[in-house]
Amino acid sequence: MPDMLDSHLLIAGEAVSGGGRDVHDVLDPATGERSGGVVHATAEDLDRALEAAARGFRTWRNTSADERTAILMKAAGLIRERAKDIGAMITREQGKPLKEGIGETIYCAMLLEFYAGEIKRLYGRTLVRPAGSRVEVQYHPVGPVAGFAAWNFPALNVMRKIGGPLAAGCSTIVKPSEETPAAGLALVQACIDAGVPGDVVQCVFGVPDEVSTHLLGSPVIRKVTFTGSTAVGKHLAKLAAEDLKIATMELGGHGPVLVFADSDIDKALDTMAAAKYRNAGQVCVSPTRFLIEEDVFERFRDGFVERAEKVKVGPGTERDTDMGPMASARGLERMEGLISDATGRGAKLLAGGTRIGNQGFFHQPTVLSEVSTDAEIMNEEPFGPVAILNPMKGEDAMIEEANRLPYGLAAYAWTRDPARRRRLAAEVEAGMLGIDTGAVSAADAPFGGVGWSGYGSEDGREGVLACMVTKTVHEG
């Protein structure tokens, strides 16, 4: 596999770089220093990619289900074989511990394997009609897809942009984040190496808004799929609406965690503290607002602080590191602003609170408590290693607070009461609800949010259907 220190474009199966194209630095978040470069596409490159995507769509949609399944299974196998190398690229460019980078890559293979299997189950249906007439509901791939992925999961976010479309029979042009280009590019290369035609899966980089404006301005693209902030998601949804392109938006969240006095507190603490500091909190489903029944507040608070203080922060390349640096200096600045705003409004700082050293982008695992609802951090996704612990009085108030924000991605609850579990499942507004678990993502389960967390699903059968349209054929 080529070393992707300097990431190129993959257009119509060809590695494209040089020729006077702009090259931008990629930084290693553990040092803050340059680790490689990323080539930016020109407008002509993007036009060539669009032409190829139109060609590729015609080829791929007419490739048999058996062949598409076999090719995607082979690609998944190559991704598994290359997981150590791809994991190392993730750590070098995004900062997370190597074991997490490798795990993320394996998860990409699992997702592709699931999608490959789904190809054979994309049935339509025949409706009941009198003899001599019939009505058939068919599913067809929507057309070429443009995908834009964020830097927090450099591989998984890209796989979510290409796996569903490829399974559905669409061609796809993906733009991984320019801050973390290598792993996404390596996944696209694995698909090509396995036999996906180069016109069908392509990878570009550039100035994000220029690339999306160019691609979404073309009638060739019929669907856009984006992972990132709500602000950019709204912008891209408007661009998509101008040409009535369909869209999947996987945007930010503000994960509430409802901790009830009847729960297994030690298990809740172990699970949720690990979930909070995973990937330095830069996870769209990160648990953020802990709403804790007052009877167990002190116990939960003290247990959480104890665990936060034990998290080993260091470079992702070191074996015993639990939490790497934040991915960029932007994340550190954001944390500083949110924490000082919260403490200025009376929040208690119980652990962490500041950057570590001045090399790289390391931040202390942080715990705030008794944070007032008007603090910025109670309303905006912190996307960093900070937990907010607030005491609450009773189930109704906890559900009301969980539903207060316009976001609704992941929510969590800890309770042993079966009737309460059902009430929470009915009333908490979220795309995913984890009850007595921190795991809310699986290859065969739809992943996505409601409200300002976006719309449409990735993963699961829904992730393929999101790239398909129906055609009803009525025969008299």
228 touches ligand NAD (CB under 6 A): yes
Contact region with ligand NAD (CB under 6 A), list: 65-73, 143-151, 191-199, 350-358: 143-151
Tokens linked to 273:
């503290």
148 touches ligand NAD (CB under 6 A): yes
Residue 386 pairs in a beta bridge with 366
333 is catalytic: no
The nearer residue to ligand NAD, 116 or 342, going by C-beta atoms, is 342
Collapsed DSSP state (helix, strand, coil) of residue 162: helix
Contacts of 188 by beta carbon, 8 Å cutoff, 6+ apart: 10, 158, 162, 174, 201, 202, 203
Map tokens 């998944």 to a residue. Answer: 76
Q: Would you give the end-to-end CA distance of the chain in angstroms?
A: 56
Using alpha carbons, list the distances in angstroms from residue 218 to 38, 235, 444, 475: 24, 16, 32, 35
249 touches ligand NAD (CB under 6 A): no
The nearer residue to ligand NAD, 53 or 468, going by C-beta atoms, is 53
Among residues 69, 91, 171, 212, the one that binds ligand NAD under rule CB under 6 A: 212
Interatomic CA distance for residues 204 and 172, integer angstroms: 11
Among residues 107, 114, 139, 151, the one that binds ligand NAD under rule CB under 6 A: 151
Tokens linked to 229:
């902030």
Tokens linked to 378:
């109670």
209 touches ligand NAD (CB under 6 A): yes
Shortest distance, position 209 Cβ to ligand NAD, whole Å: 4
The pattern of x and - marking residues 153 through 192 that bind ligand NAD according to CB under 6 A reads: ------------------------xx--------------
The nearer residue to ligand NAD, 336 or 436, going by C-beta atoms, is 336
248 touches ligand NAD (CB under 6 A): no
Residue 311 class from Cβ within 10 Å (0-12 exposed, 13-18 middle, 19+ buried)? buried
Using alpha carbons, list the distances in angstroms from residue 302 to 115, 127, 168, 297, 382: 43, 60, 49, 9, 22
430 touches ligand NAD (CB under 6 A): no
Interatomic CA distance for residues 388 and 287, integer angstroms: 9
Among residues 53, 102, 251, 440, the one that binds ligand NAD under rule CB under 6 A: 251
Tokens linked to 199:
């016109």
33 is catalytic: no
The nearer residue to ligand NAD, 243 or 417, going by C-beta atoms, is 243
Site for ligand NAD, residues 336 to 395, rule: CB under 6 A = 381, 383
Contact region with ligand NAD (CB under 6 A), list: 47-55, 231-239, 296-304, 415-423: 231-239
284 touches ligand NAD (CB under 6 A): yes
Is the Cβ–Cβ distance between 247 and 285 less than 8 Å? Answer: no
Interface residues with ligand NAD (CB under 6 A)? 148, 150-152, 177-178, 208-209, 212, 227-229, 232, 235-236, 250-252, 284, 334, 381, 383
